[in-house]
Each structure stands twice: as C-alpha cells, then as structure tokens.
Amino acid sequence: MKSEKNLSAAFCAVTGAASIVILTLLDQYTKILALSGLKGQDSVVLIKGVLELKYLENRGIAFGMFQGKIPFFVILCIIFFGTVVYAFIRIPKKRYYLPLMLIGYILTAGALGNFIDRVFRGFVVDFIYFSLIDFPIFNLADIYVVVSGVLLVLFVCFKYKEEEFVFFNPKHKG
C-alpha cells in the first residue's frame, strides 16, 4: 500500500458522530411521520402495484423473526455498538480506510435507529412496502443496514486485503 495522507482523528470523530446523528434523526423523523400519518390508516399508494407506505409495528428483527425478544435485541445492539467503537478507535485514520469508516457510520446509524425504536417504543416502526415483489415492510434504518452491509462485503472482498486489517489485533501497535 502506497503512502497515504493521514486524516485527523478529530475530523474522523466529528464527521462520524455528525453522520450518525443526522442519519438517525432522519430515520426517527420518518418514523414519527409514519406513526402520525399512517397508523390506523389504509396504505398510501405511491406507485400503483409497486410502492406503498404501509404502517407496521415490527416486534422482531429482519422479516419479523424472533418476535417479542426485545431484551435479546438490546443486548445484541450493545455488543454491536461496543464492537463499532473498538473498530473506530483501532482503524488507521488514513484516506485509504475512509470508505470503511463511512460504511461504519451508516451501519451504526441504521442499528441505532432501530435500537431507539425497540427501547423506547417496544417495536420498530416499518412503513415502506414494495408491493411489486411483496417484499417485507421496512424503514430507513433498514435501508442503511442493508446498503452498508452489502458495501462492507464488497469492499472487504474486492478492495482490502486480509493483512490490511492487522490493526484489529489488540497486540498491533500503530
């Protein structure tokens, strides 16, 4: 790997925190709109036969699995957030790793958005429905998690090499 310009740790922290806060607030705002405008109402057709806004209270995780296991999800999220903090601390603050950091910010915002719902509402507000393929109803946080998850896999498989992740080893200095 060629020499890269270092990024300021403060820049990374501020950018990361701001990104996570903005994306999480956008997710929560859309869920508040769904609660106030869609709950108890018929679905709103945006594109007939393709896309609808349809209110759903999801008490599980992806595709409604593990219904009612809120304490389990909270524990998983806390472990995830701890892992993310560890990764953000350890990752070299170099331009080369910026895509990984950005993906991490988006993934964290998605997890945080649904975590907030589970803790404060007891369920996740879902409202986006692709009727064309009868896909499960989802929300912005779900989009953040899926898109960043796919990007993470692609970057790890095609951009970064295994030896470029040595910084995750606790014994690694540098």
Catalytic residues: 126, 142
| CA–CA dist 45, 130 (Å, integer) | 10
Query: What angle is formed at CA 125 by the lines to CA 121 and CA 128, rounded to 5 degrees?
Result: 175
3-state SS, the chain, equals CCCCCECCHHHHHHHHHHHHHHHHHHHHHHHHHHHHHCCCCCCEEEECCCEEEEEEEECCCHHHCCCCCHHHHHHHHHHHHHHHHHHHHHCCCEHHHHHHHHHHHHHHHHHHHHHHHHHHHCCEEEEEEECCCCCCCECHHHHHHHHHHHHHHHHHHHCCCHHHHHHHCCCCCC
Residue type, 49: G
